[in-house]
Amino acid sequence: MKVDIERQIQQSAEETAGKIRDLLAARKVFAVNLISSPGSGKTTLIESAIEALRGKKRVSVVEGDIETDIDAARIRKHGVQVHQINTRSSCHVPPFLLLSALDHIDLDATDLLFVENVGNLVCPAEVPLGEDLRVVALSVAEGDEKPLKYPLVFKTSDILVITKTDLLPYVKFDPGRVKAAARAVNPRVEIFEVSAVTGSGISSFLERIEELCGRKTG
Amino acid sequence: MHELGIARDILDIAVAEAEKHGGCRITRVDLEVGVLRGVVPENLAFLFGHVAMGTIAEGARLAIEEQPARVACEACGPVEARGFTIACPACGSPAVKVEGGDALRILSIDIDDSLPAREA
Ligand SMILES: Nc1nc2c(ncn2[C@@H]2O[C@H](COP(=O)(O)OP(=O)(O)OP(=O)(O)O)[C@@H](O)[C@H]2O)c(=O)[nH]1
Ligand SMILES: [Mg+2]
Ligand SMILES: [Zn+2]
Instruction: Determine the residue among B10, B15, B64, B84 to mutate to test chain A binding: the one whose Cβ has the most chain A Cβ atoms within 10 Å.
Output: B84
Residue spans per domain, chain B = 3-67+101-112
- Give the whole-angstrom CA distance, residue B34 versus residue A19: 24
pLDDT at A166: 98
User: Which ligand 1 atom lies nearest to the CA of residue A118?
Assistant: 25
ipTM of the modeled complex: 0.77
pLDDT at B120: 44
Looking at residue A130, which CATH number applies to its domain?
3.40.50.300
A180: domain range? 2-217
A82-126 pLDDT per residue, tens: 999 998 767 889 888 899 999 999 999 999 999 999 999 988 998
B42-91 pLDDT per residue, tens: 999 999 999 999 999 999 999 999 888 888 888 888 888 776 666 788 88
- Give the whole-angstrom CA distance, residue B75 versus residue B23: 53
Q: Tally helices (H) and strands (E) across chain B.
A: 2, 6
Under 8 Å between Cβ of B107 and A5: yes
C-alpha A99 to ligand 2 mean position (Å)? 20
Task: Give, in order, the Cα–Cα distances in Å from A158 to each of A81, A123, A136.
Answer: 25, 17, 8
For the domain spanning B3-67+101-112, the CATH number is: 3.30.2320.50
A142-171 pLDDT per residue, tens: 999 999 889 889 999 999 999 999 999 999
Angle, helices B41-52 vs B3-20, to 10°: value is: 50
- Give the whole-angstrom CA distance, residue B78 versus residue B98: 9
**Nearest-neighbour CA in chain B from A189: distance (Å):** 13
For residue A30, pLDDT beyond 80:
yes
Mean pLDDT throughout A57-63?
Answer: 98
Pairing of strands A112-116, A59-65: parallel
Mean pLDDT, chain A, whole residue set: 94
Ligand with minimal distance to A36 CA: 1
Domain count, chain A: 1
Q: Is B108 on the interface with A (CB under 8 A)?
A: yes
Of A141, A137, A166, A163, the closest CA to residue A150 belongs to A137
A164-213 pLDDT per residue, tens: 999 999 999 999 999 999 998 899 999 999 999 999 999 999 999 999 99
* CA atoms lying within 13 Å on the CB side of residue B50: 12
- Give the whole-angstrom CA distance, residue A183 versus residue A178: 8
Pairing of strands A2-8, A112-116: unpaired
Please state which of the ranges A76-80, A191-195, B16-20, B92-96 shows the lowest mean pLDDT.
Answer: B92-96
Size of interface A-B (CB pairs under 8 A): 75
Phi, psi for A8 (deg, rounded to 5): -70, 130
pLDDT at B23: 80
Is this model's pTM higher than 0.90 or not?
no
